[in-house]
Amino acid sequence: MAKKVVDVLFVKSKVREYIKSKNCNTSGDVIDGPALNNALIGILDKAIARAKANGRKTVQEKDL
C-alpha cells in the first residue's frame, strides 16, 4: 500500500536558522527530504495514540 503524502509540518527557514546557530551548515536533503518530516510525524502519531489511549482527544505536552 502506498504511503499518503503529508504536507511539510515544519518551517524550513527556522530549521536552517537553528542549525546555523549551532555553527553547522544544512544539507538540502535535510530540509527537502522526507526524513525530518517523517520523524516529526512519528512523534506526533505516538502522542496522538497516547492521548487516545488515555481517553482524550486533546494531545497534551505530556503525550510527547
Res 2: pLDDT: 55
Instruction: Look at the pTM and tell me if it is higher than 0.85.
Output: no
Listed as ranges, residues in the chain with pLDDT below 50 are: none
Res 18: pLDDT: 97
Give the 3-state secondary structure of the chain: CCCCCCCCCCCHHHHHHHHHHCCCCCCHHHHHCCHHHHHHHHHHHHHHHHHHHCCCCCCCHHHC
Q: CA-to-CA distance for 47 and 15, rounded, in angstroms?
A: 22
